[in-house]
Structure 1
């Protein structure tokens, strides 16, 4: 008989802060477990690496698109359609299923080719160096600085801004709006507060990108916004202005916050492990392996959700048509069946392919860019500031949506 569980412990304050003990308990139950329908909205929690890989490739399971949300609500005017943040999100490639997902993903993918990533690398190095200069200036004389504020947030904002075409002087405007917009999917009773902030952010972000699209339509440049406009003009891409703006917002946010928290997580993991810190500083060729292990050990985006289009099952757990599966990417990355000694941080781990960016049709468009940023940023940081130290304990975010730090006080001398 299958053990029915509840998610209250995972969604508690302690569970959000450190979900890994809960995940370890789940792994003792197999690859997936049924949930108590009186306590949770989901039919099943999927936590095993193998089960998640199969589910995310299975066409029976789909992203929570507008049609599904409408069916759940059942009203002529579903409540979610009154939320500006959700209206924007549901038009992005991240919340669409085929054929619309395919229609929009194809032109967006052109921005993330290996050729474009290679061409962008010198700009990323320049942007990182500039932020390191600012950290050095702010931390002169032993002054304490907030690593997240001065480095971990600005670097990814700079990089995705460079790609999308956001002018340098506008980039500091984004973090206070991008994070509230992204947190509208945070589960739990406090979600209405995140929705209010996210709706306000969505209005501002929409207004900004409408102006940027108009500017690039008038004068094309070498950036993603111009490339998409040219693709539509040539007939090689098909999307409306509203879809274009929504997906520019989506790409900016998705390409920003994952990198932010991976950089912060990476620093804390290295500060706690002097031998690993020294190895990464002295051997930048090890950076790809370190980044993969950082993403595995402290997964920045912990979960996703899929719904079943017909009666089916996951790892022997029945899922009815319309039932939702909570997909715990962070748990898959600590699955002992896939990663021996999963609670050990080991950058030399063989065959270290993580679930941090999902798999299948919804594999993250910006995964290569995010990894490149972290691979460049952490070794450059460690070489510039060999005496970098924590000035006080970091403050965690205590979220399910993103795992990372709100503040990391450091000194550099």
Structure 2
């Protein structure tokens, strides 16, 4: 025979389960207000499916605290009944050690699905985001918000986000306003509009472009169901870009991105030698151009002395254009669609620089050789080769990126070939046309 106490306990349990099943939004708001340990206890008193709907409406901060108080096995059972996107959003905000413990308790198929969903493709917003994000319900008071932040142990309140009762992102909140506002004020009255949101699979290039345009220091990241799953902070994003720039500097000259200053000699040789061999083949192509003018050089030996000058200036000009274009592509200041604008800019830069260098070089060559023809040849070749080199420095990385290749890994090798051939061909070609003005010997 059951006692009155047992009947009351049973009735309370039935009512509690009915509350979770029939009023999940209100249940979520209640769970956010009570201590996380108490909320976790309530969930564990009922079958996992009973509380399934409540997790849809819990804000990230509260959900994370409650999960932290629940056994790994119970969380694994929860993942089995939740929508996959919501499940991975909850799991993704936990540290890796806890994720591993939970997945070890989950069914093999569930664990495999979660692991796949937790791994975002390279160069997407999902790879850039921080999953430790704090969001609050917009209908709670300032006093309740401060209590939730304290309970979560959060001190990084610069980027707080607000959700409606359906756990959909509605705005943002500057954390310092909480200390300066009446404690009975609702957060919705303090909300600032969202400047920008991105999705987990948005390309990194697009994220950087939109962040630059929005001029914000943090952007929330949503999954395919528009659940808030993380935040990208500008400072961290620029650090990532900085590291990418440094890596590109290495790969542009044929060094591996894996090589460090203190890497072993054998490792460095293994990474560099293949590119040196490729560069050797391209050098033979440039040498073939010189060989085609062997008779001209034998007749006018002064040309052989000036050949390195022509090739050197062409190479430097091309390298400058390449570096600027690579920086623009890495920082997403430009895209492959900007190719014509970049080409025209580098052509005009090359022409102006070429004229300036041509005047200086022509004077020097005339003083040295007393030959007006030789001075004219080197001057004209400087203008032509610098225009070609600047154009190549701009187009090579853009073309490689357009073709799906890594522009940093191959650009320098291709550019060296183009600039060497351009320098030799323009100098020796113009010398052939003006051979009547050149001094013999």
More helix by share: 2
Higher gyration radius (CA): 2
Q: TM-score, normalised by structure 1?
A: 0.23
Q: Which has the higher contact order (CA 8 A, sep 6+)?
A: 1
Q: TM-score, normalised by structure 2?
A: 0.22
